Amino acid sequence: MCASSVFAATAATPDAEIESKINALLAKMTLEEKIGQLNQQTGTGYSDDMVGSIRKGAVGSILNEVDPVIVNKLQHEAVENSRLGIPLIFARDVVHGFKTIFPIPLGQAASWNPALVEQGARIAAVEAASTGVRWTFSPMVDVSRDGRWGRIAESFGEDPYLASVLGVSMVKGYQTDDLSQPGTMAACTKHFAGYGASESGKDYNTTWIPEVLLRDMYLPPFEAAARAGSATFMCSFNDINGVPSSGNPHLNIDILRNEWGFDGVLVSDWASIMQMIPQGVCVDLKDAADRAANSGVDVDMESYAYTRHLKELVEEGKVEESTIDNLVRNVLRLKFRLGLFDNPYVDMATANNFYAPESLEAAKKMVEESTVMLKNNDILPLKNVKKIALVGPMADDKHNQAGTWCFDLEKEHCVTPLEALTEKYGKDAIIYAPGLKYSRDIDESGIADAVAAAREADVVVMVGGEEAVLSGEAHCRADISLPGAQTKMLEALKATGKPVVLIIMTGRPMTIVHETNLADAVLYMFHGGTMAGPAVAEMLAGEVSPSGKLPVSMPKMVGQLPLYYNHVNTGRPASGMVLI
């Protein structure tokens, strides 16, 4: 779908009429009010400071306010009590579900099912928009080749084409073909660009990406999202070849605006404008504001560089007011496309619309389609089983099965494997002995209980992996093996002679060669969200097939990283070379 077809349908009025309204509004705005539209800050509830800023027109969008009552009260201040009545946008990281949590994006990529990914985004948008959230910071389309990097969990893996297709699916799911309608959110394609190439798999690290590699590998998913009508983009934290994305005119203006024709909003990542100071390219916050504004960054998220310094920079002639006007145009255009000037408030009659039965069913289906069967020695589906030993630290962990980036998780709604298997087979058929309290637990005292349970059972189901906190932003791992004493427990279980089904819940590819050899069957499932348990029960029983395919290469050892299938051939391949 081309960008123009999406944008033509994202507002009730034609684009020409919107542009006319934008120009008329800009003509009335003071410089301070223009700068206010470029300022995004974290919500503080209905506080005096926030109300004062809104009434002055000093804030254009608010992060992390999800109470629809507070949203409406703050919106009332903007619409009724500010000089120009420009509505606010409320934003939130809705990454793989709002209340109904789907598998992490890396798991969704394992489904290879664009329609199901779009449906998941649609459900997330309906739930989040019912609280007033109309802007999500998703999808993340960073091509990710290093399993040590924690944010690989948020990505669609290592292939640029798969990331392109699924990124577009999420954009369509969030926005539909009419962004002005209730139940939609503006997508934010991130992180622009090259963040997945962070050296050594360390978050926020530098990148060195030649232009040909940038265009062949890292930019295609972003271009696809731009041409599909992604309403917003987000700068990445990293630099590319020494130039941070928040101060990179080649990336933001030459490519995004001029080559791809993007006319949406480019927002900084959290304080990424300010972070150009420690990155060594700006001497102070004023210098950072200068560089970001002249590099086409429309919205300053949590650096407060624009509110503190843009007016002075305009007065000094370092930033032209026409440059500010162009940034503001993009913000106002988004607000018109979202229909906020006509319908700024949350409809309280339909507020807090969560956990529809069809949403839970879709979440379960995604778990099933994203679970990869790595091995099966004719153990699955379970047959003629009277007793199941259910062990492992992830077997009954509502919080950690949801995965990273679940700010709005209500874990009481998560159904664990223990709950689902007990419901399916009956309480007397399940012998539950976790053995370890959490994934990193090195206390082996509980393993004996797990072994005792195994001896009483016909089959052992071990649910292991890693806690949610071990992946995501700033949660990178130098060692991506199974943490804690899980491998020792698996060895002890195998020694009982009972068949062992190993289920891995994780946020990344892991080095599990030894564990795969030990187990009789292995189901590799990325953190599965709300409905991970029912999906596990149905897959073990053979009611559905785990149909996922890996979206990332699985290293045998960490020293192979970064690892990816589409590497350039060398002059001396491992085999097949003929010398003449």
CB 179 within 8 A of CB 223: no
Separation CA 152–CA 196 (nearest Å)? 7
Identify which of 438, 437, 493, 485 has the alpha carbon closest to the alpha carbon of residue 462: 493
What single DSSP character describes residue 259? I
- Per the annotation, the verdict on 93 as an active-site residue is no
Q: Which of 146, 239, 269, 441 is catalytic?
A: 269
**For residue 99, how many other CB atoms are within 10 A of its CB?**
22
162: left (phi over 0), alpha (psi -120 to 50) or beta: alpha
Report how far residue 213's alpha carbon sits from residue 154's, in angstroms, rounded to the nearest whole number. 22
Phi, psi of 478 (to 5 degrees): -75, -30
Question: Residue 333 and residue 509: Cα distance in Å, rounded?
Answer: 40
Which helix (H) or strand (E) is 40 found in, with range? strand 39-42
Cβ contact 198:205 at 8 Å? yes
CB-neighbour burial class of residue 376 (10 A; exposed 0-12, middle 13-18, buried 19+): middle
What whole-number distance in Å separates Cα of residue 443 and Cα of residue 437?
Answer: 9
Which residues are registered as beta bridge partners of 460? 389, 500
User: How far are the Cα atoms of 10, 297, 436, 537 from residue 326, in angstroms, in the given order?
Assistant: 20, 10, 57, 54
Q: How far apart are CA 137 and CA 151, in angstroms?
A: 14
Catalytic (active-site) positions: 269
